[in-house]
Chains A and B, each alone.
Chain A
């Protein structure tokens, strides 16, 4: 059974800092892994998807890496802005055909102006 842990649970940093959010998962037999952000009272917004054959994926100031064998993924946010404040969730999926996402508790990020 896949279990996902995200560390830290909460993070507060001043604007402009670069930061790293960590995600670990117990079953390395994944098909892909998605990173999402969730704003209070809203749905989940997909940020990045990394396929199991990839090592990293970039979108703007975001860079996600994946080390499938060790069960880890990181989300790097460069030059953080107050608008980046949200809860960040990582979710791996199982092998193709078993596409359910498995979520951890997420990291609640606050960027202080």
Chain B
């Protein structure tokens, strides 16, 4: 079974530009989560999809961040316009619906805003 995949692995953009991160969850996992770690801080939750619906978006920092999960499969996280403080590693995770909700993480996308 393929794991959670994320693309790109690394992105370097200038302040004010737009970046779109993609996450492909494990096949059959209805739950999809986004987290991020900024320099020196702990990993923090951004939002949670159940299929294509946003279950919890309490961690989204501001309206420059837009997450979508069309068709309940892969998800994208768009940052527009990017600011310096958006630099960090963005992780995606997925879990099955029901049961123990064990979350499996992808390798992350390292975003650098210059």
Which residues of A are at the interface with B, using a C-beta cutoff of 8 A?
A: 4, 31-32, 34, 36, 42-46, 49, 51, 89, 91, 93, 96-106
The distance from the CB of A20 to the nearest CB of chain B, in whole angstroms, is 21
B74 interface hit (Cβ, 8 Å): no
Whether the Cβ atoms of A99 and B107 lie closer than 8 Å is no
The distance from the CB of A104 to the nearest CB of chain B, in whole angstroms, is 6
B31 interface hit (Cβ, 8 Å): yes
The distance from the CB of B56 to the nearest CB of chain A, in whole angstroms, is 6
What is the CA–CA distance of A43 and B93 in the complex, to the nearest angstrom? 10
Chain B residues near A44 (CB-CB < 8 A): 43, 91, 93, 105
Whether the Cβ atoms of B101 and A32 lie closer than 8 Å is yes
Chain A residues near B104 (CB-CB < 8 A): 46
Whether the Cβ atoms of B43 and A43 lie closer than 8 Å is no
B101 nearest CB neighbor, chain A only: A99
B43 nearest CB neighbor, chain A only: A103
Whether the Cβ atoms of A42 and B100 lie closer than 8 Å is no
Chain A residues near B35 (CB-CB < 8 A): 101
The 18 sampled A-B contact pairs (Cβ below 8 Å) are A4-B42, A31-B101, A32-B102, A42-B107, A43-B108, A44-B43, A46-B105, A49-B100, A93-B101, A99-B33, A99-B48, A99-B103, A100-B33, A100-B45, A100-B48, A101-B33, A101-B103, A103-B44
